[in-house]
Amino acid sequence: MGICCSKGKEELEEEGFPWKHDAFFHDQLWSAGVSMHTKQGWKGANQDAMTTCQDFAGHKGQIFCGVFDGHGPLGREVARHVRDVLPMKLSSSLALKTEQDPSSNTDKEALEKSDCTSLSDTSNEKQLLSTWKNIFVKTFEDVDDDLRQNSGIDCICSGTTAVTVVRQGDHLIIANLGDSRAVLCTRDSKDRPIPVQLTTDLKPNLPSEAERILNCKGRVFAMDDEPDVSRMWLPDQDAPGLAMARAFGDFCLKSHGLICTPEVYYRKLSEKDEFLVLATDGIWDVLSNKEVIKIVSSATDHSKAAKQLVERAVRAWRRKFPTSMVDDCAVVCLFLKPSPSSEESTHVDAKAPQVVSFTGSFRKALGGGGGGEAEEGTNVWRALEGVARVNSVAKSPLFTAKVLASFAAFVLFVFFVARPAGRYIARKRTPPGDLLSEGSFVLVVIAALLSALVTDVIGFKFMIGPMMLGLALPGGMPIGATLTERLDSFFIALFLPVYMALAGYRTDLAELGMIGVSAEHEEKFCALELFVALCVAGKMVGCVAAGLFFSMPFREATVLALMLNIRGIVEVAAINNWGDTMKATAEHYSTLTLSMVRVALYFLGGADDREALAYVARMAECGLVAVTVVRLKLRDWVGMGGRDEMRDEEALQEFWQRYSCAGAERVAYVEKTVEDGEGTASVVRAMSDKFDLLVVGRREGGGDGAEGSSAAALTSGLSEWSEFPELGVLGDMLASADFAAKVSILVVQQQAATRNDDDY
């Protein structure tokens, strides 16, 4: 499809659109600093849309850009209708404002005199931005009313979000409706690119949005399988589950808190601002603002920046959510400075369908209203509802119980049915020393394929079934020998190379550069690469040194080292599995390089605490363990100087004298003074999240200790609500569900003495 125009300026003006020769471009293109790209997801028809216009509303150099994310059965039609109509109505409103108030022509002049970034610094700017806001709000409401009156599109449960921007010189006015987003790339004081989010994702979990929805009798809650995604629901039924609080259309929710009023934002551009990214949630759900800025800024050709961003987002979807369907993605990149590598003329992708649209009525002129296409989209949507229901119950307790019960039944079947059948075939149906007959061999192969199918349907990896069956069937002659004889060469010559090639195809060297992009990973940049390099180098040096020690030629020793560094089928299968289930990330590999384990002992006193101190002392002898002994003491405690307290002091003094000098950087002794058991609990809760392992003494009987002792006073009241009395007072508190720190716990009890002298 080429560029289509069928109405002139006069006809458009007669229809109520004071036309200023605006040319709107949709889909993939590069035009005067604007890069656009969209890609259909796996949920059916592409419901995302986008548009851009040069010299918007007749102002030379003024640019309009917009991104629209449709949802619902007719989301695609709604998004495209808004894409066509919104810019027209906005342009008409601006022209009408200019005619009614000629002084508004000086708006640009007023902006240029102002260098502020807020709405309240100058009266001129306040008046100007108030005008823009009123125009945007009125235009959005008019478009929503147009949708309500449009009999060709059923918008009861269908709608679209919108994020639009108008650039006028050094000034940006952004209007946002829904959960699409606008992010600006600028430079910090060290000339590093940083993201600035200009809009707020208007989702139902925002306090102001939730309050409005609840006041209108709507409901806001998240589904069990998506606890982090709050949705908007009707008062009396769990539908439609809208993930945004503002949108065009969706008229079933308009009386229950959903509105079409946009949030309007303003920013004055500076020399450090480089580009603006408008994108739908298909991008932001898998990429952070910083990752998006990094990807776009790294594009050597600005005309391909949007396409590279969409392709990277699709790969991120497959990597982060391998069991979910990739969402539609649409991106508009508005570059604020000219690119030396990009052509000045408009470049349109020849492979993508392009439209220059002047009015929404052009769809009829281009051939029909798209009824068949809408019906097809509806059918696809209804089909996907079944998939969504299956996804929604995948993490429910009942579903988990069914999966475990099914797997248990499969295991019982393998060992109590398949195993005896295999023995019967091997011993009764096959002569001694012979291979399996053709029928028995086919039966074994079919059993292996069925076991893979069953485990895959249950929800486990397909490899589990054949592995369990292989463990159950008798090895050697005749079953094992027959499988090796008939399948070994076939699999090694065909399937194994293909599998390894596919594993290599999944390797994306470009993804390595993304490690460390997020703020939490900046200090771990290239940690995985360094870890792998050290492993390879260690194997190479070790193998070559061992070979030379045993008089092996250097060439053969080097070849042996290279062979041992090659990943086998078992390692590749494990790595593929980790990648599919997102269990292996750069952070997990960094954890393997952890060189220090932090251990803490809470010492209250008594035989069990002294036993725990002796155990921790053994740990301190290891160079990879850092030990902290926390001594808890009562304020103004006057002890009786008993034998038990003297042993406590002697044990602590001996520990400190022995290990403080040998490993001062790894051994620490801390004293904490508390008033009672409540103070003890506060100290433990405050310090525990700083360690990897907590060691405590069980203390006699798991109670509060001997009456009148310091240790008893330190835990007074803590055992009244005990859940695990066998762990002692502190052990019970650390193991309870109310304890927030995620840390391992070791409870130590001294062996019961056979005589009264139980000295430490």
Alpha carbon distance 98, 104 (integer Å): 6
User: What pLDDT digit, counting tens, does each position of 506-550 carry?
Assistant: 555 444 444 444 444 444 445 555 666 777 788 889 889 988 988
Over range 253-259, report the average pLDDT.
Answer: 92
* Domains delineated in the chain: 9-200+262-385 (3.60.40.10), 403-506 (no CATH), 512-591 (no CATH), 597-748 (3.40.50.620)
* Biggest CA-to-CA distance, the chain: 110
**For residues 544 and 661, which has the higher predicted lDDT (pLDDT)?**
544
Per-residue pLDDT band at 752 (split at 50, 70, 90): low
346 three-class SS: coil
Amino acid at 681: A
Phi/psi at 246 (nearest 5 deg)? -140, 140
Two tokens at 434? Answer: 């012979």
CB atoms within 10 A of CB 119: 15
Residue percentage of the chain with pLDDT more than 70: 69
- Using alpha carbons, select from 567, 571, 587, 699 the residue that is nearest to residue 632: 699
Of 582, 584, 591, 586, whose CA–CA distance to 692 is shortest? 591
Lowest mean pLDDT among 415-424, 587-596, 639-648: 587-596
Looking at 566-642, list the stretches that DSSP marks H as alpha helix, in order from N- to C-terminal side.
569-580, 586-592, 607-620
Please state whether beta strands 181-187 and 193-197 pair in parallel, antiparallel, or not at all (unpaired). antiparallel
Q: Which residues, in sequence order, are CB contacts of 422 under 8 Å at separation 6+?
A: 444, 472, 473, 474, 479
**How far is the C-alpha of 111 from the C-alpha of 433, rounded, in Å?**
94
To the nearest 10 degrees (0 to 180), the angle between helices 728-735 and 677-687 is: 50
Angle at 348 between CA 347 and CA 353, to 5 degrees: 175
pLDDT in tens, 278-325: 999 999 999 999 999 999 998 888 888 999 999 999 888 887 877 678
d(CA 728, CA 712): 12
- Dihedral pair phi/psi, residue 756, rounded to 5°: -65, -30
The DSSP annotation for 268-303 comes to: E--TT--EEEEE-HHHHTTS-HHHHHHHHHT-SSGG
Q: What angle do CA 488, 493, 499 make, to 5 degrees?
A: 100
Q: How far apart are CA 229 and CA 247, in angstroms?
A: 17
Rounded mean pLDDT of the chain? 75
Chain Cα centroid distance, residue 297? 22
Q: What local confidence, expressed as pLDDT, does residue 31 receive?
A: 57
Which range is least confidently modeled, 4-8, 162-166, 399-403, 531-535?
4-8
Average pLDDT over residues 616-632: 82
CA distance readout (Å), 347 to 21, 27, 87, 156, 388: 19, 12, 22, 39, 40
pLDDT band at 658 (very low <50, low <70, confident <90, very high): confident
pLDDT at 78 over 80: yes
